[in-house]
């Protein structure tokens, strides 16, 4: 007797693409946005430290600015990373805002803005868009002329030109007002963004209270410091 054993039909199932699911998940996007935001806050602090020197020492400001403007590592590695970080942060912010808007429109979603979140939290897209528009102006004021100076007109290096160029930009009252208003919205954006970043990453330990206090101090102090620089140079040009 011959016993025939036929193998059962087996249809292999495709393994789920965990990486694709991760990249498209809201949690992943929030975490990466939080990390990019913290990265930009580090740059903002460094940018403030350099710019505040223009208030009390043109020599030190010129030295800092000349180093940052001529150092190959800064120009061709750190600067592209910074620009990429800015673009990534704002693109991710708009994507998350679209997701949130879509979620509010579903039948099962109950959303009462004033009850569920603060005004700053509900309007991060407004403060973010204002900051983005300000960055466009800031690039036009300082980055574009710098590119033109070095790579289009190929003018000779002048390590003492930076203070004069900075002060010249703040001779116009209208520009100073735009900068101050932009710094106000930057402060609002940072107030919520800093706290939200650590909440997203699940930071909750004995240092949480101190981090929140530091975040508030940073979110108010840094934009206020930048506004002071603009007003100072307007009044003393």
Tell me what pLDDT residue 110 has: 46
Model pTM above 0.95: no
Higher-confidence residue of 87 and 110: namely 87
Q: How many domains does the chain have?
A: 1
In a domain, 53, yes or no: yes
In a domain, 52, yes or no: yes
Domain residues for the domain of 174 are 29-104+118-236
30: pLDDT confidence band, cut at 50, 70 and 90? confident
In a domain, 152, yes or no: yes
In a domain, 190, yes or no: yes
Quick: pLDDT tens for 150-184.
Answer: 999 999 999 999 999 999 999 999 999 999 999 99
In a domain, 18, yes or no: no
As given in the structure block, the two tokens for residue 65 are: 């600015």
In percent, the amount of the chain with pLDDT more than 70 equals 84
d(CA 93, CA 197): 12
In a domain, 109, yes or no: no
- Compute the average pLDDT of residues 51-72: 97
d(CA 72, CA 55): 27
In a domain, 224, yes or no: yes
In a domain, 169, yes or no: yes
Contacts of 21 (CB under 8 A, 6+ apart): none
């Amino acid at each position: 007797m011959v016993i025939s054993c036929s193998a059962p039909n087996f249809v292999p199932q495709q393994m789920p693409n965990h990486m694709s699911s991760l990249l498209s998940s809201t949690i992943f996007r929030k975490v990466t946005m939080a990390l990019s935001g913290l990265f930009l806050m580090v740059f903002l602090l460094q940018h403030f430290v350099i710019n505040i020197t223009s208030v009390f020492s043109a020599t030190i400001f010129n030295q800092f600015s000349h180093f940052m403007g001529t150092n190959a590592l800064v120009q061709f590695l750190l600067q592209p990373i910074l620009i990429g970080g800015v673009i990534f942060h704002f693109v991710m912010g708009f994507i998350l805002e679209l997701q949130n808007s879509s979620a509010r429109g579903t039948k099962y979603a109950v959303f009462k803005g004033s009850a569920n979140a603060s005004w700053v939290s509900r309007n991060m897209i407004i403060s973010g868009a204002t900051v983005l528009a300000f960055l466009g102006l800031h690039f036009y004021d300082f980055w574009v002329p710098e590119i033109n100076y070095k790579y289009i007109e190929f003018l000779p290096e002048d390590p003492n030109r930076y203070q004069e160029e900075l002060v010249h930009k703040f001779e116009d009252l209208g520009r100073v007002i735009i900068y101050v208003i932009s710094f106000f919205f930057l402060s609002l954006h940072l107030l919520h963004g800093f706290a939200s970043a650590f909440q997203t990453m699940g930071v909750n330990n004995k240092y949480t209270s101190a981090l929140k206090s530091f975040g508030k101090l940073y979110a108010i102090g840094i934009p206020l410091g930048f506004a002071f620089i603009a007003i100072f140079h307007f009044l003393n040009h």
